[in-house]
Every structure is written in structure tokens, then in C-alpha cells.
Amino acid sequence: MALLRFRYPLTLPLSSLSSSSPAHGWRRFRCAAGNQDLFSVDAKKLVLEVKEKLEREHPNLPVGKNGRDDEDMILWFLKDRKFSVEEAVVKLTKAIKWHEDFGVSDLCEESVKSVNGTGKAYVHDFLDNNGRPVLVVVASKHFPAVGNTTKQEPIEDEKLCVYLIETALNKLPPGTEEILGIFDLRGFRVENGDVQFLKFLMDVFYYYYPRRLGQVLFVDAPFVFQPIWQLVKPLMRSYASLVRFCDMETVRKEYFTESTVPADFKD
């Protein structure tokens, strides 16, 4: 079992610390071999501390899945915030409110049926070679509605986006915490560009599904995509470092087997 030590020494008992104490920035954690799961003798105490704080300070927040008493969600946001109770509460409060306002729990296949039928995005049936669920975006099939009601409305695209993220996360096998995003940029044209939607997508991953995106592949990006990338890159924040520009052959050989590669990427 590998051992990870955070920046402050383990000297004070948890009961002697306030939630605002800098010592909440450390804990000693055991890292299970072969995956990224972090465990700690203090983890349960921190989860309970966050849960009690949310109940006390934000009693109107919903409960249940993606609610203020969802211990799995609380633990994940604690990990994201390096086990700082205060920071986790702030980010959780925003995320829980967003889940409720956006109606995430009401999203289903039927609610996104019309836009899902365009084939612009889907969750692949198979995992990649690293055991990650795969979310594929076919950029050439995306036509944002800009002063044209016959094109796809932003809210419908956003609902499809969140529905597919939820679907991909539900496919996570034990020990896997991240998904792979593939943007198929073959045939991309200027009219397919949608900076606002990409901003929404990055905000969703950054604020509401942190650390769930393991890597992003931009496949066969044409020259016309470069100006879009220059606009989008700053919006991606730390996720920009996860982007890899590659070709279809790389996707086939490095990320899938012959039997698991998405049909669109076969010879």
C-alpha cells in the first residue's frame, strides 16, 4: 500500500481542529494499489463534518442523490478540495444547487430524445483500454442556434451534455474514477463552432463534476479549428493540460482494441 502525506504534519487530533484550521489541508492517506482511491482514518469524520455543516448552514438544500447528505458526493468533493472542509462546503453548495436548478435527476433518454437523435454525441458501448467510459462528440453534427430557430437550441444541447456525462459516470467500473472524452473533428467547419457551448461544458466539469475528465482527445482537427482552440483553451483552465491532438489511427491503436473501437473510428 503506497502512502501519501499532505503538507502539514500529523500532530493534532481531529477533535481539536476547527473547520477553518489550515490543518484541514492535510491528512495521511493510504492509496490502494492499482487505482487512485484515497482512504483515511479521518475521511469518515470529515464527510460527517461536511454533512453536518451543510445541514446547519444550508438546510434548504435537497437531500438524496447529489444532495447535501450524499456521502459519496461529499467525499469526492473533499478529494477535489484536498480535504479542506471549508472549500468543499463552498463548492458542494454551488454544485448541489446547480443539480437541483438544472433538473439533473429528471434527465432521461426520453427528455433528450430529439437532440440525441442527431448523433452529435453518445456514450460508447465499450470502455477504453484504461477501463474508462468513453464520451464521443461528433463536432460536424453540431449546429448551434444563432438567430435561427431551425437549428439546435442551446438548452437542449446542454441537457444532452449533462445526461451523457451522468450516463458515462454510471458506467464507471469499480476502481475507475474518470472518463475519456473524444472530440471527432473530422469534417469540422466554421458553422460547427460553438464557444459558448464549450464554455458550458468546461464549467460543468470544473464546478459540478470535478476530476471526472481523465483525458480529452481532439481527433483529426482541421486547420479551421485552430482559431476556435485559441479561444477555448483559456476557458478550459487546468483541463487544457488533458487535451491531446491526435489522428484516428492513434485512437484505434492506443485507446481501443479491434473489437472495442467505436464504429466511426474503424477502417
Q: 44 with 76, same domain?
A: yes
Query: Residue 230 burial by CB count (10 A; 0-12/13-18/19+): exposed, middle or buried?
Result: exposed
Asked if 194 and 137 touch (Cβ cutoff 8 Å), the reply is no
* Range with the poorest average pLDDT among 61-75, 144-158, 185-199, 215-229: 144-158
Q: Is residue 19, in this structure, part of any structural domain at all?
A: no
Q: How large is the average pLDDT for residues 5-21?
A: 36
Segment 170-187, tens digit of pLDDT:
999 999 999 999 999 999
Domain around 183: 107-265
Domain count, the chain: 2
Give the integer Cα–Cα distance in Å for 192 and 194. Answer: 6
High-pLDDT (> 70) share of the chain, %: 82
50 band by pLDDT with thresholds 50, 70 and 90: very high
* Range with the poorest average pLDDT among 14-18, 116-120, 131-135, 250-254: 14-18
Segment 204-214, tens digit of pLDDT:
999 999 999 99
Q: 128 with 260, same domain?
A: yes
pLDDT of residue 6: 38
pLDDT of residue 178: 97
Q: 135 with 218, same domain?
A: yes
High-pLDDT (> 90) share of the chain, %: 76
Q: At what angle do helices 195-203 and 154-170 cross, to 10 degrees?
A: 40
CATH number at residue 138: 3.40.525.10
Q: 214 with 112, same domain?
A: yes
Q: 231 with 144, same domain?
A: yes
Q: Is residue 16, in this structure, part of any structural domain at all?
A: no
- Pull the grid cell for residue 196: 459558448
Q: 176 with 256, same domain?
A: yes
pLDDT at 198 over 60: yes
Helix spans in the chain (H): 43-57, 71-80, 85-102, 113-116, 154-170, 195-203, 226-232, 248-250
- Pull the grid cell for residue 233: 483553451
Q: Is residue 14, in this structure, part of any structural domain at all?
A: no
pLDDT of residue 40: 55
pLDDT at 8 over 60: no
Q: 160 with 42, same domain?
A: no
Asked if 169 and 238 touch (Cβ cutoff 8 Å), the reply is no
Identify which of 263, 262, 1 has the alpha carbon closest to the alpha carbon of residue 133.
262
pLDDT of residue 42: 80
pLDDT at 33 over 50: no
Q: 187 with 125, same domain?
A: yes
Q: At what angle do helices 43-57 and 85-102 cross, to 10 degrees?
A: 60
pLDDT of residue 146: 57
Q: Is residue 20, in this structure, part of any structural domain at all?
A: no
pLDDT of residue 117: 92
**Boundary-marking domain end, from 102, 117, 139:** 102
Q: 48 with 129, same domain?
A: no
Give the integer Cα–Cα distance in Å for 170 and 164. Answer: 10
Helix (H, G, I), strand (E, B) or coil at 127: coil
Asked if 50 and 95 touch (Cβ cutoff 8 Å), the reply is no
Give the integer Cα–Cα distance in Å for 96 and 77. Answer: 11
Q: Is residue 25, in this structure, part of any structural domain at all?
A: no
